[in-house]
């Protein structure tokens, strides 16, 4: 039986945490600034972004990576009195090659729950379930 030395696991977790936060920032800050290349860097090509909405009855609305990246290119929020962009990223779990996090910003009226996968050594957002802030 092999045991992973704790110091190696801690280093890996710290590196993974930093890369997960970077993928989340690429996704959300890239969208905020209208930088479609940055959004593409943070998400996997097979991304599924969903919201549960109620209009008469509940339905799930879907968005693909291509749709998100395209929307980001035509989307830029105006600067509001020099208040810097801030994102709070809470990582709930990192296990093997998958992770789960929540992203909330001071600039947008929604939050995202994201699931990421580590593919070829790089963390990418694969699934997003989002909702408007109340």
pLDDT greater at residue 73 or residue 100: 100
| pLDDT above 60 (res 34) | yes
Residue pLDDT, tens place only, 18-32: 999 999 999 999 999
Sequence-ordered list of residues with C-beta below 8 angstroms from that of 82, at least 6 positions apart, any chain: none
| pLDDT above 60 (res 9) | no
Domain 6-132 has CATH 3.10.450.50: yes
The structure's pTM equals 0.86
Q: What is the pLDDT of residue 112?
A: 98
Q: What is the pLDDT of residue 104?
A: 97
Q: Are 34 and 74 in contact (CB under 8 A)?
A: yes
Domain locations along the chain: 6-132
């Amino acid at each position: 039986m092999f045991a992973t030395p704790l110091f190696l696991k801690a280093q890996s977790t710290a590196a993974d945490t930093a890369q997960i936060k970077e993928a989340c920032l690429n996704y959300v800050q890239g969208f905020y600034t209208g930088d479609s290349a940055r959004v593409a860097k943070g998400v996997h090509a097979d991304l599924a972004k969903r919201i549960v909405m109620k209009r008469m009855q509940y339905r799930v609305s879907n968005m693909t990576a291509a749709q998100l990246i395209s929307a980001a290119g035509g989307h830029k929020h105006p600067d509001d009195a020099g208040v810097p962009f801030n994102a709070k990223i809470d990582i709930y779990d990192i296990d093997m090659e998958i992770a789960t996090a929540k992203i909330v910003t001071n600039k947008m009226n929604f939050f995202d729950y994201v699931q990421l996968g580590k593919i070829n050594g790089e963390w990418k957002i694969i699934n997003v379930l989002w909702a408007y802030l109340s």
